[in-house]
Chain A
């Protein structure tokens, strides 16, 4: 199939403002969009810049806005995009060059919610016990690959760049609802602030954007309930 690819380009070293570039490419219907971007970079224009690593949806490097929705370029097949594709950097992040955005703020916000196991007891000699049901409660959040697609799709972030954003809340949820963790109260206090969970307006863009199928909005709602009702047990 022959496809027209429109890409929003911007190199601050060279360009005064972003512009649209177009490439016409032959592609196989089951090629990944990432394969097509590589074809452009390797055979047509070596300056085209994007991140990529694992190429099968587990590392989270190549999140970008594809036909208006945040997707991983390695999980989108050419047969699914039509004969004209528009690719832009994700919204809500500063652009470094072409499709590469600055992820430093995103990771700062992630770190701010204490995304690590907090315990005050002595460690046992072997494993801590956890039932299959207790494990199931926080399973969804453990799938997160920190690609930033949810956060970059959220209108609340576009309006309030200081907001902690959906990805951070998902990762807070993963620990708040882990039966082994003893830091739920600290995290819930952090997330009850002005830039915590309450800026979520339940728009569901995040859940649509998640390449791992995490029900992001549902998890945020569970954190809201935990704040209101005073802890994960009551939520």
Chain B
């Protein structure tokens, strides 16, 4: 079936919906493979940072400094300026749309501490995170969806996008599978926005939803668009042991502390100033170090998150959801017992390279592809550099989702629809038909499980040349096996086995680019920590990785792009201490 719109948005999380809001005079289709309110933005707990100064003095430039330093200086600094300046207006916009923020005694938006956010360029923690209990992402998603009802945005729920259409060097549409019927649809647009989120499901232990399969990144990558800084993947320190479900950094923002098997609050030893509120990459590495030193609980591979000293009342008021998770999934009562945690795959700092208006750029020269936009976790602006600060993901969504929407609004005024390329559904139809008719005998679930184990064994918090090479060989084998995936469900109607098989292909692509970036980067920076190259190397590696797909797992081509610095001594790269 053929559909024509001015703007086609793929993904209905915070970035996609924020963009849709900016287009009241355009025809807009939002394609989502779930229902909009099921998007993974809804799982974000802690808050959204903006230097409102409602609790104490704060400035966007302090926020910018924290973002740049938190990202271990791999951040493009003009983008970080936009992120932190626009954050203030964007948070007010959310409030005006009805977001039920917690309030101060004076009725202002309340703010609390969060990892890596400091006053006066690193002096000490600052209350910058605006929040709605520990369900801030849920409230952003609900509020945006509610606003979109008012604006009459057209949704295509449970549509899985398979391909990006490009003609005459411009993006002009997408092809999608309607899950309910198995039908193939073409959406023809003047502007296409990918807001499809991350790929945490590549790891066995992850905070990410089943939907987070790297769809948008992989689809772009297959069409010759590079993926940037994919080696920069964040492992959140406090996932529920074995399950991976997140216990928000808000727990530490409210005063929670990490405890090892010797009964020691060990972060004080590593990071004397910020302690448990040091950025996530550092805290995760400290946990892994404690476990290696035999300081895990009973010598095992986990430590505790301790909130007992906060008291029952504060826990119930400020952290209701995460205490519920601990009770439900571990049978642990956080008011009286410490909670077993381990680092969990959480967030892609890398993704589809974009400029500050969310336009996708194709190379180290910043050449844009007209009509193609990306925003949110799928994109790499880059505001998170080598490590994202807590609460900056929601800021990214609302700021760059909004900028994408505003830029598209102008772009569609100045342009007309580019014709679709010839045989535009051919790739997608062949892909789906091959899966239906395959008799290769391989199981997608089995391949995915092998991938997830390999990624946690060799592409996790600590990396080595040997481990990464092992992972790359493994990916090559799994990609071969993937060609032989066979389905049991041959039906057209709501075929989730088909869907999972297609998504596995996405995960394999994203993992491949991640490993190549990590293997080449012979330094340690932010979330990318090499046991064999433990120092940051600004002389050789203050640059972004661009990975271009080849024909096989080993054939990926790498290029590099300069990090953009601004002329201000405060932001000059220096050693990162907290």
- Of A7-15, A157-165, A187-195, A202-210, the one contacting chain B is A7-15
- Of A18-26, A56-64, A225-233, the one contacting chain B is A56-64
Within 8 A of B (CB), among A129-160: 129-132, 134-135, 138-139, 142-146
Whether A127 lies near B109 (C-beta < 8 A) is yes
Whether B138 lies near A58 (C-beta < 8 A) is yes
Whether B149 lies near A128 (C-beta < 8 A) is no
Whether A116 lies near B149 (C-beta < 8 A) is yes
Q: Which of A32, A127, A138, A145 is close to B108, meaning CB atoms less than 8 Å apart? A: A127
CB-CB under 8 A from B245, the residues of chain A are 55-56
Whether A116 lies near B98 (C-beta < 8 A) is yes
Question: Main SS of chain A's interface residues?
Answer: loop
Kindly state whether residue A198 has any CB partner on chain B within 8 Å: no
Whether B487 lies near A46 (C-beta < 8 A) is yes
B interface residues, tally (CB under 8 Å): 61
Whether A180 lies near B149 (C-beta < 8 A) is no
CB-CB under 8 A from A104, the residues of chain B are 157
Kindly state whether residue A111 has any CB partner on chain B within 8 Å: yes
CB-CB under 8 A from B445, the residues of chain A are 41-43, 46
CB-CB under 8 A from B330, the residues of chain A are 30
CB-CB under 8 A from B443, the residues of chain A are 42
Q: In chain B, what residue has the closest Cβ to A138? A: B100
Contact A139 to B497, CB < 8 A, known contacts A55-B210, A116-B146? no
Distance to closest chain A CB from B112 (angstroms): 14
Contact A46 to B146, CB < 8 A, known contacts A11-B493, A53-B210, A131-B103? no
Docked pose: A46 CA to B52 CA in angstroms: 51
Distance to closest chain A CB from B104 (angstroms): 8
Residue of A14, A75, A123, A126 with most chain B CB atoms under a 10 A cut-off = A126
Kindly state whether residue A219 has any CB partner on chain B within 8 Å: no
Docked pose: A51 CA to B488 CA in angstroms: 18
Docked pose: A34 CA to B331 CA in angstroms: 17
Whether A146 lies near B37 (C-beta < 8 A) is yes
Chain B window 92-113, contacts with chain A (Cβ cutoff 8 Å), 1 for yes, 0 for no = 1001111011110111110000
CB-CB under 8 A from B495, the residues of chain A are 49
Whether B98 lies near A181 (C-beta < 8 A) is yes
Kindly state whether residue A6 has any CB partner on chain B within 8 Å: no
Whether A126 lies near B92 (C-beta < 8 A) is yes
Question: What 20 new A-B contacts, CB under 8 Å, besides A41-B496, A42-B446, A96-B180?
Answer: A11-B491, A46-B497, A47-B491, A49-B489, A50-B496, A51-B34, A53-B211, A54-B42, A56-B329, A58-B135, A60-B38, A61-B38, A97-B494, A117-B146, A127-B92, A132-B107, A139-B100, A142-B132, A175-B98, A180-B98
Shortest beta-carbon contacts, A-B, top 8: A117-B98, A42-B445, A46-B488, A129-B107, A116-B146, A47-B489, A59-B38, A54-B209
Q: Which residues of B come within 8 Å of A, CB atoms?
A: 34-35, 37-40, 42-43, 52, 92, 95-98, 100-103, 105-109, 132-133, 135, 138-139, 142, 146-147, 149-150, 157, 180, 209-211, 243, 245, 321, 324-325, 328-331, 443, 445-446, 449, 487-489, 491-497
Q: Which residues of A come within 8 Å of B, CB atoms?
A: 11-14, 30, 32, 41-43, 45-47, 49-61, 75, 77, 96-97, 100, 103-104, 107, 111, 115-117, 119, 123, 125-132, 134-135, 138-139, 142-146, 175, 178, 180-181
